Amino acid sequence: MRVKTRKDRRTRVRLRQRQRISGTPERPRLAVSRSLAHISAQLIDDRAGRTIAAASSTEQAVRGRFEDGARGGNKAGARIVGAIMAERALQKGVTRVVFDRGGFLYHGRVRSVAEAAREGGLEF
């Protein structure tokens, strides 16, 4: 299958990653998703097929912590989403996760979420 668009390439990379990455109850998958305006993260237990915790730049609680030009479409906002995700994971008793970048490059906002989650106490 030829890659025709960026979206096709991202989909292929995402599916290839998902063959190797899987979340368990002891070590759930931290999945990051982004659009031009927003970013979100979820802790997923793939065995049970359920989301343990989530954080998104569209949530009112997250938006309330945005300051100094931070928003869902920039690295400052992504850092806040990552920190909130770490807080929520620790509240659920999760300390170790598997990071799933969702076919996106480990760069920019995706990297900011990962670094903030690590600083917040998550191990990966």
57-80 pLDDT, tens digit per residue, is 999 999 999 998 999 999 999 999
Segment 6-29 shows an average pLDDT of 92
Give percent of the chain above pLDDT 90.
94
Segment 5-9 shows an average pLDDT of 91
Q: Model pTM? A: 0.90
In whole angstroms, give the CA distance from residue 101 to residue 30.
Answer: 8
User: Count of CB atoms within 10 A of residue 112's CB?
Assistant: 22
Domain 6-119 annotated CATH 2.30.40.10: no
> Sheet holding 29-34: strands in order across?
50-56, 39-45, 29-34, 98-100
What is the structure's pLDDT at 4? 86
